[in-house]
Amino acid sequence: MSDLLWQKPGVTVDAAIQAFLAGDDVVLDREFFLHDIEASRAHAQGLARIAILAEDELAGIERELDVLAGDFSAGRFVLDDRYEDGHSAIEARLTERLGDAGRRIHTGRSRNDQVLVATRLWLKAQLARTQALCVEVAGIALDRAAAERDVPLPGYTHLQRAVVSSLGMWWSAWAEAFIDNAARARDTLAWIDANPLGSAAGYGVNLPLDRDHTTAALGFGRMQVAATYAQLSRGKFEMAALEALSSAMLDLRRLAWDLSLFTAAEFGFVALPAQYTTGSSIMPNKRNPDVIELMRATYASVAAARCEIEQLLSLPSGYHRDLQVSKGALFHGFGKGLQALALLPDLLRNLDWNTDRMRGALEPSMYATDLAVDMAREGVPFRDAYRQAADPARWAEGDPAASLLARVSPGAAADPGLEVLRARLVDVQGMSGS
């Protein structure tokens, strides 16, 4: 490892202690290393604006940061345990290449605000991706809701046959869910869009740092003003982002559940695209829906990440090394969550319905509610109509198309409000940049 930035003369470093301190931290820092470099550039520009760096020093730093970003992306620079962490690696590299200019880069900043700003930029990118994926999912669901609007599907409560439903209703449910999830990602992104750089160790510095410049240069919506709050927001903002992601994961879990039921032979309503199924090692006949099962399980990873961070935050104000542990949880949660979400659009696009099986699962009892409401419309008090309609003798093979056509309550089969959902989708899409 290169010399530790904080090494005191005469104190030897114990390898086991050092390994415990470092953990997998430097490897995790790869995840946001490019953001750390980007923030270092803005910080250097800010230092030049208050004459801590000369213009030629700034030019050298900007050039070397570009080279470092390129080397890192191409695999020519590997961030590994030669360095304590990604933050010190940037300083070591600049010092090695530029001498004094590199030794000046850390003026007025701390690794405490450095890790905050890199994480914050990374979080913004993940939330933008979450938003864009949710928009894509909602768009597919909405298109299919329109295309398959009047196809009958049994509607269940308690997994018991309840009333006639439709593919239009099934799809529009997921459309609206993922519009909400996209909006939540967008709103959370706006909520965390605050620049912590310049808060230093959490107490500011005796320099007139140009925080407005770094805020604008890094594309933040606002400055996180109170230097001590910047540290308090670590973990809190990560949790908010994971909550936004888990909102999508929660719906994905239930969608996956529907599909795993509907593909079972007992239902036989839908066939998954072949790439989304696997075989069995022993049973030659099997096609298993493993992909949707792992999608369903992903909620656990995201919820666990949020929970791990929450457990860390029982701390007084100020920086504590405990906070470092939030990084692994955060990267794992978002890594798993976005990987699952990214597979959803193609899955939905390629679902193949067996409309005969869906229609075959409808039975006369599923028109009983229509019957009771019809009688109530004719003036029979609903509770009396309900009793009469409960009599199986009154049930007959119904017409699903007629049942769906009569379901005129807003949001139901005959009036699904797809244009309202379309307008909301356009609105939430506009901000996602997708």
- Taking CB under 6 A as the criterion, the residue among 53, 89, 115, 270 binding ligand ARG is 115
- Taking CB under 6 A as the criterion, the residue among 130, 165, 214, 324 binding ligand ARG is 324
Q: Is the CB of 13 or the CB of 300 nearer to ligand ARG? A: 13
With the C-alpha atoms ordered 203, 205, 208, 211, is the resulting torsion angle positive or negative? negative
Phi, psi of 207 (to 5 degrees): -145, 145
Closest CA to 192 of 152, 240, 130, 156: 240
Please tell me the distance from the alpha carbon of residue 194 to that of residue 197, in angstroms, as a whole number.
Answer: 9
Q: Which of 88, 213, 280, 434 is catalytic?
A: 280
Nearest-CB residue for ligand ARG: 324
Least gap, CB of 15 to ligand ARG (angstroms)? 19
Q: Is the CB of 298 or the CB of 326 nearer to ligand ARG? A: 326
Answer yes or no whether residue 57 interacts with ligand ARG by CB under 6 A: no
Helix axis angle, 236-263 relative to 290-312, nearest 10°?
160
Do residues 200 and 230 make contact, with C-beta atoms less than 8 angstroms apart? Answer: no
Answer yes or no whether residue 39 interacts with ligand ARG by CB under 6 A: no
Q: Is the CB of 54 or the CB of 325 nearer to ligand ARG? A: 325
Longest CA–CA separation in the chain, Å: 94
Please identify, among the stretches 35-43, 107-115, 235-243, 364-372, the one whose residues bind ligand ARG according to the rule CB under 6 A. Answer: 107-115
Q: Which of 43, 87, 106, 158 is catalytic?
A: 158
Q: Is the CB of 26 or the CB of 340 nearer to ligand ARG? A: 26
Least gap, CB of 424 to ligand ARG (angstroms)? 38
Degrees, nearest 5: CA angle 336-76-218:
60
Least gap, CB of 84 to ligand ARG (angstroms)? 8
Closest CA to 277 of 293, 254, 253, 257: 293
Please identify, among the stretches 91-99, 108-116, 129-137, 162-170, the one whose residues bind ligand ARG according to the rule CB under 6 A. Answer: 108-116
Please tell me the distance from the alpha carbon of residue 100 to that of residue 246, in angstroms, as a whole number.
Answer: 46
Please identify, among the stretches 40-48, 109-117, 291-299, 310-318, the one whose residues bind ligand ARG according to the rule CB under 6 A. Answer: 109-117
Q: Is the CB of 115 or the CB of 163 nearer to ligand ARG? A: 115
Answer yes or no whether residue 25 interacts with ligand ARG by CB under 6 A: yes
- Taking CB under 6 A as the criterion, the residue among 88, 95, 112, 188 binding ligand ARG is 112
Catalytic residue check, 280: yes
Answer yes or no whether residue 31 interacts with ligand ARG by CB under 6 A: no
Please tell me the distance from the alpha carbon of residue 126 to that of residue 246, in angstroms, as a whole number.
Answer: 13
- Binding flags for ligand ARG, 293-322, as an x/- string (CB under 6 A): --------------------------x-x-
Answer yes or no whether residue 323 interacts with ligand ARG by CB under 6 A: yes
Please identify, among the stretches 72-80, 111-119, 145-153, 176-184, the one whose residues bind ligand ARG according to the rule CB under 6 A. Answer: 111-119
Answer yes or no whether residue 407 interacts with ligand ARG by CB under 6 A: no
Q: Is the CB of 146 or the CB of 325 nearer to ligand ARG? A: 325
Answer yes or no whether residue 344 interacts with ligand ARG by CB under 6 A: no
Answer yes or no whether residue 211 interacts with ligand ARG by CB under 6 A: no
Least gap, CB of 126 to ligand ARG (angstroms)? 17
Chain centroid, CA 292 distance in Å:
18
CA distances from 141 to 167, 297, 354, 379 (A): 10, 22, 18, 39
Least gap, CB of 51 to ligand ARG (angstroms)? 27
Answer yes or no whether residue 85 interacts with ligand ARG by CB under 6 A: yes
Answer yes or no whether residue 113 interacts with ligand ARG by CB under 6 A: no
| Total binding residues toward ligand ARG, as defined by CB under 6 A | 10
Least gap, CB of 412 to ligand ARG (angstroms)? 51
Do residues 422 and 142 make contact, with C-beta atoms less than 8 angstroms apart? Answer: yes
Catalytic residue check, 403: no
Contacts with ligand ARG, residue ranges (CB under 6 A): 25, 85, 111-112, 115, 319, 321, 323-324, 327
Enzyme catalytic residues = 158, 280
